[in-house]
Amino acid sequence: MSDPEGIGTLTGPSLPAHLYVHVPFCRLKCSYCDFFSVPVEDAEGVEAVLAGIEEEILEWGRARLSGILDTVYVGGGTPTIIGPGVIRILESVRTSLPARTDGEVTVEANPDSATARLVEALAAAGVTRVSLGVQSFDDEIIGLLGRLHTVEEAHVAARAVCDAGLDLAIDLMCGVPGQSLRSWHCTLEEGIETGAKHVSVYPLALEDGTPLAVAVGAGLVSSPDSDAAADMMLLAEDVLGAAGFERYEVANYAVPGHESRHNTAYWTGESYIGVGPAAHGMLDPETAGASGVRTGVGTDVARVRYSNASDIEEWLQGAGRDVETLSKAEVAREDVMLGLRLARGVGARIVAAAGLEEQLRQLEAEGLVELAGGGVKQRWRTTTRGWLLGNEVFRRVWLPDQ
Amino acid sequence: MTEPRLIRNFSIIAHIDHGKSTLADRVLELTHTVYGRDMKDQVLDTMDIERERGITIKAQAVRVMYDADDGETYQLNLIDTPGHVDFTYEVSRSLQACEGALLVVDAGQGVEAQTVANAQLAMNAHLGVIPLINKIDLPQADAERVSHEIEEALTIPGEEAILTSGKTGAGVRDALEAVVRRVPPPQGDSDAPLRALIFDSYFDPYRGVVGLIRVVDGHIAKGMKLRMMATGVTTEAEEVGVRRPANQPVEGLGVGEVGYLITGLKDPALVRVGDTVTLAKRGSEEPLPGYREVKPMVFTGMFPIDGDQYPDLREALDKLRLNDAALVFEPESSHALGFGFRVGFLGLLHLEVVKERLEREFGLDLLATAPSVEYHVRKTNGETIVVQSPQDMPDVGSIDRIEEPFLRAMILVPPDYVGAVMELAEGRRATFKDMQYLSKTTVELHYDIPLGELIMDFFDQLKSRTRGYASLDYEYIGYRESQLVKLDILLAGKPIDALSFIVHKDKAYYRGKTLSEKLREIIPRQFFEVPIQAAIGGRVIARETVRAKRKDVLAKCYGGDVSRKRKLLEKQKAGKKRMKAVGNVEVPQEAFMAILKVDE
Ligand SMILES: Nc1nc2c(ncn2[C@@H]2O[C@H](COP(=O)(O)OP(=O)(O)OP(=O)(O)O)[C@@H](O)[C@H]2O)c(=O)[nH]1
Ligand code: SF4
Ligand SMILES: [Mg+2]
User: Among A1-10, A128-137, A309-318, whose mean pLDDT is lowest?
Assistant: A1-10
Which homologous superfamily is B298-368 in? Elongation Factor G (Translational Gtpase), domain 3 (3.30.70.870)
- For chain B, the domains span 4-182, 195-279, 298-368, 376-482, 485-597
B42 CB near ligand 1 (under 6 Å): yes
Give the β-pairing of B7-14 and B100-106: parallel
User: How far is the CA of B376 from the CAs of A303, A402, B388, B394, B459, in angstroms?
Assistant: 65, 42, 9, 11, 25
Q: What is the pLDDT of residues A138-186, one digit of tens each?
A: 999 999 999 989 999 999 999 999 999 999 999 999 999 999 999 999 9
Q: How many residues does chain B have?
A: 600
CATH number of B485-597: 3.30.70.2570
Q: Nearest C-alpha of chain B: how many angstroms from A375?
A: 30
Give me the mean pLDDT over the B131-144 stretch. 97
Q: What is the pLDDT of residues A175-200, one digit of tens each?
A: 999 999 999 999 999 999 999 999 99
Share of chain B above pLDDT 90, in %: 82
Among B549, B554, B558, the residue with its CB nearest the CB of A266 is B558
CA–CA distance, B148 with B442 (Å, rounded to integer): 11
A200, A226, A247, A364: best to mutate for the B interface, most B CBs within 10 A: A226
Alpha carbon of A266 to ligand 1 centroid (Å): 63
Phi, psi of A74 (to 5 degrees): -100, 110
CA–CA distance, A358 with A102 (Å, rounded to integer): 42
What is the pLDDT confidence band of residue A1, given thresholds at 50, 70 and 90?
A: very low
Residue of B nearest to A34 (CA): B561
Cβ–Cβ contacts within 10 Å for residue B191, how many?
A: 9
Residue of B nearest to A393 (CA): B553
Closest residue to atom 3 of ligand 2, CA basis: A77
Looking at the domain covering B4-182, what would its CATH class be?
alpha beta
What per-residue string of b and e applies to A237-265 under the rule 16 or more CB within 10 Å gives b?
Answer: bebbeeeebebbbbbbbbbeebbbbbbbb
| Of B13, B15, B16, B17, best ligand 1 pocket probe by most atoms within 8 Å of the beta carbon | B17
- Asked whether the CA dihedral B116, B118, B122, B124 is positive or negative, the reply is positive
- From the list B533, B530, B485, B538, the residue with the least C-alpha distance to B512 is B533
Chain A residues inside the 8 Å CB shell of B573? 395, 399, 402
Residue B600 predicted with pLDDT over 70: no
Q: What is the pLDDT of residues B52-69, one digit of tens each?
A: 999 999 999 999 999 999
Higher pLDDT pick, A268 / B580:
A268
Among A230, A366, A398, the residue with its CB nearest the CB of B551 is A230
Residue of B nearest to A267 (CA): B558
Q: What is the pLDDT of residue A3?
A: 45
CATH number of B195-279: 2.40.30.10
Cβ–Cβ contacts within 10 Å for residue B227, how many?
A: 19
Chain B residues inside the 8 Å CB shell of A329? none
Q: What's the mean per-residue pLDDT of chain B?
A: 93
Give the helix/strand (H/E) hosting A18.
strand A18-23
- Rg over alpha carbons for chain B, rounded to the nearest Å, is 27
B580 CB near ligand 1 (under 6 Å): no
Inter-residue contact B61 to B27 (CB < 8 Å): no
CB spacing of B555 vs A250 below 8 angstroms? yes
Residue B440 predicted with pLDDT over 50: yes
CB spacing of B569 vs A395 below 8 angstroms? yes
Q: How many residues does chain A have?
A: 402
Inter-residue contact B242 to B205 (CB < 8 Å): no
B138 CB near ligand 1 (under 6 Å): yes
B593 CB near ligand 1 (under 6 Å): no
| Burial of B214 per CB tally in 10 Å (0-12, 13-18, 19+) | buried
Q: What is the pLDDT of residue A326?
A: 95
CA–CA distance, A167 with A256 (Å, rounded to integer): 13
Q: What is the pLDDT of residues B234-280, one digit of tens each?
A: 999 999 999 999 999 999 999 999 999 999 999 888 998 999 999 99
Among A263, A266, A389, the residue with its CB nearest the CB of B553 is A389
pTM of the complete model beyond 0.95: no
- From the list A375, A341, A46, the residue with the least C-alpha distance to B565 is A341
CA–CA distance, B107 with B143 (Å, rounded to integer): 6
| A85 contact partners, CB below 8 Å, separation of at least 6 | A23, A46, A50, A79
Q: What is the pLDDT of residue A294?
A: 80
Which residue(s) pair with A23 in the sheet? A76
Among A201, A324, A398, the residue with its CB nearest the CB of B569 is A398
What is the pLDDT confidence band of residue B449, given thresholds at 50, 70 and 90?
A: very high
A37 CB near ligand 2 (under 6 Å): yes
Q: What is the pLDDT of residue B596?
A: 83
Residue B139 predicted with pLDDT over 70: yes
Which residue(s) pair with B412 in the sheet? B444, B471
Alpha carbon of B18 to ligand 1 centroid (Å): 5
Give the helix/strand (H/E) hosting B26.
helix B20-30
Higher pLDDT pick, B128 / A3:
B128
Q: Where are the alpha helices (DSSP H) in A81-150?
A: 84-96, 116-124, 139-144
B219-224 long-range contacts, Cβ below 8 Å, gap at least 24?
B219/B1, B219/B190, B219/B194, B219/B252, B219/B253, B219/B254, B219/B255, B220/B194, B220/B196, B220/B252, B220/B253, B220/B261, B220/B277, B221/B251, B221/B252, B221/B253, B222/B249, B222/B251, B222/B252, B224/B194, B224/B279
Inter-residue contact A198 to A258 (CB < 8 Å): yes
CA–CA distance, B105 with B115 (Å, rounded to integer): 7
Q: What is the pLDDT of residue A9?
A: 46
- From the list A237, A279, A285, A277, the residue with the least C-alpha distance to A382 is A237
Inter-residue contact A272 to A281 (CB < 8 Å): yes
What is the pLDDT confidence band of residue A230, given thresholds at 50, 70 and 90?
A: very high
CB of B308 within 8 Å of a chain A CB? The answer is no
CA–CA distance, B139 with A263 (Å, rounded to integer): 70
CA–CA distance, B81 with B287 (Å, rounded to integer): 25
The DSSP symbol for B501 reads: E
CA–CA distance, B414 with B541 (Å, rounded to integer): 40
User: How far is the CA of A169 from the CAs of A89, A130, A139, A259, in angstroms?
Assistant: 21, 6, 20, 10
A2, A36, A280, A308: best to mutate for the B interface, most B CBs within 10 A: A280
Please give the span between the terminal C-alpha atoms of chain A, in angstroms, as a whole number.
Answer: 29
Alpha carbon of B101 to ligand 3 centroid (Å): 15
Among B528, B555, B562, the residue with its CB nearest the CB of A203 is B555
Closest residue to atom 23 of ligand 1, CA basis: B56
Q: What is the pLDDT of residue B559?
A: 86
Residue B121 predicted with pLDDT over 80: yes
Is the domain covering B376-482 a CATH 3.40.50.2000 domain?
no
Q: Where are the alpha helices (DSSP H) in B433-474?
A: 451-454, 458-465
What is the pLDDT confidence band of residue A10, given thresholds at 50, 70 and 90?
A: low
Whether B195-279 and B485-597 share one fold: the answer is: no
Q: Which residues of A touch B (CB under 8 A)?
A: 20, 175, 201-203, 205, 226-227, 229-230, 233, 250-251, 263, 266-267, 272, 274, 278-282, 305, 307, 324, 334, 337-338, 341, 366, 368, 385, 387-392, 394-395, 398-399, 402
Q: What is the pLDDT of residues A363-376, one digit of tens each?
A: 999 999 999 998 88
CA–CA distance, B177 with B10 (Å, rounded to integer): 13
Q: Counting ligands in written order, which one lies closest to the CA of residue B17?
A: 1
CB spacing of B550 vs A230 below 8 angstroms? yes
Q: Nearest C-alpha of chain A: how many angstroms from B579?
A: 13
Q: What is the pLDDT of residue A6?
A: 42
Locate the ligand 1 atom nearest the alpha carbon of residue B164 and give its number.
31
CA–CA distance, A284 with A350 (Å, rounded to integer): 19
Q: What is the pLDDT of residue B578?
A: 67
| B370 contact partners, CB below 8 Å, separation of at least 6 | B300, B501, B592, B593, B594, B595, B596
CA–CA distance, B339 with B331 (Å, rounded to integer): 7
Residue of A nearest to B547 (CA): A227
User: How far is the CA of A200 from the CAs of A7, A203, A251, B541, B557, in angstroms?
Assistant: 31, 10, 5, 48, 12
| Of A30, A135, A173, best ligand 2 pocket probe by most atoms within 8 Å of the beta carbon | A30
Q: Counting ligands in written order, which one lies closest to the CA of residue A28?
A: 2
CB spacing of B551 vs A282 below 8 angstroms? no
Return left, alpha or beta for B328; rule: phi > 0 is left, psi -120 to 50 is alpha, else beta: beta
Alpha carbon of B20 to ligand 1 centroid (Å): 6
Closest residue to atom 21 of ligand 1, CA basis: B17
Give me the mean pLDDT over the A198-210 stretch. 95
Alpha carbon of A32 to ligand 2 centroid (Å): 8
Which homologous superfamily is A18-265 in? Aldolase class I (3.20.20.70)
Q: CB-side exposure of B555: number of CA atoms within 13 Å?
A: 23
Residue A8 predicted with pLDDT over 50: no
- Asked whether the CA dihedral B302, B306, B307, B313 is positive or negative, the reply is negative
- From the list B351, B474, B315, the residue with the least C-alpha distance to B409 is B474
A278 CB near ligand 2 (under 6 Å): no
| DSSP class per residue in A152-201 | HHHHHHHHHHHHTTPEEEEEEEE--TT--HHHHHHHHHHHHHTT-SEEEE
| B45 contact partners, CB below 8 Å, separation of at least 6 | B21, B51, B54, B55, B56, B60
Q: What's the mean per-residue pLDDT of chain A?
A: 93
Residue of A nearest to B581 (CA): A402
User: How far is the CA of B60 from the CAs of A72, A261, B47, in angstroms?
Assistant: 74, 74, 11
Among A280, A307, A388, the residue with its CB nearest the CB of B551 is A388
Cβ–Cβ contacts within 10 Å for residue B85, how many?
A: 24
Q: Nearest C-alpha of chain A: how many angstroms from B581?
A: 11
User: How far is the CA of B550 from the CAs of A248, A389, B176, in angstroms?
Assistant: 20, 7, 71
Is it true that the peptide bond before A111 is cis, omega within 30 degrees of 0? no
Among A233, A338, A399, the residue with its CB nearest the CB of B573 is A399
A133 CB near ligand 2 (under 6 Å): yes
Residue of A nearest to B528 (CA): A366
Chain B residues inside the 8 Å CB shell of A72? none
Enter the ipTM.
Answer: 0.89
Q: Is A258 strand, coil or helix?
A: coil
Q: Nearest C-alpha of chain B: how many angstroms from A133?
A: 14
Locate the ligand 1 atom nearest the alpha carbon of residue B18 and give its number.
19
- For chain A, the domains span 18-265, 344-398
User: How far is the CA of A72 from the CAs of A96, A104, A297, A335, B116, in angstroms?
Assistant: 13, 6, 30, 22, 82
CB spacing of B572 vs A389 below 8 angstroms? no
| DSSP class per residue in B364-404 | --EEEPPPB--EEEEETTS-EEEESSGGGPPPGGGEEEEEE
| Burial of B582 per CB tally in 10 Å (0-12, 13-18, 19+) | buried
Residue B342 predicted with pLDDT over 80: yes
Alpha carbon of A190 to ligand 2 centroid (Å): 22
Which residues place a Cβ less than 5 A from the ion ligand 3? B 20-21, 56
Residue A5 predicted with pLDDT over 70: no
Q: What is the pLDDT of residues B521-574, one digit of tens each?
A: 999 999 999 999 999 988 999 999 999 999 999 899 998 888 888 888 888 877
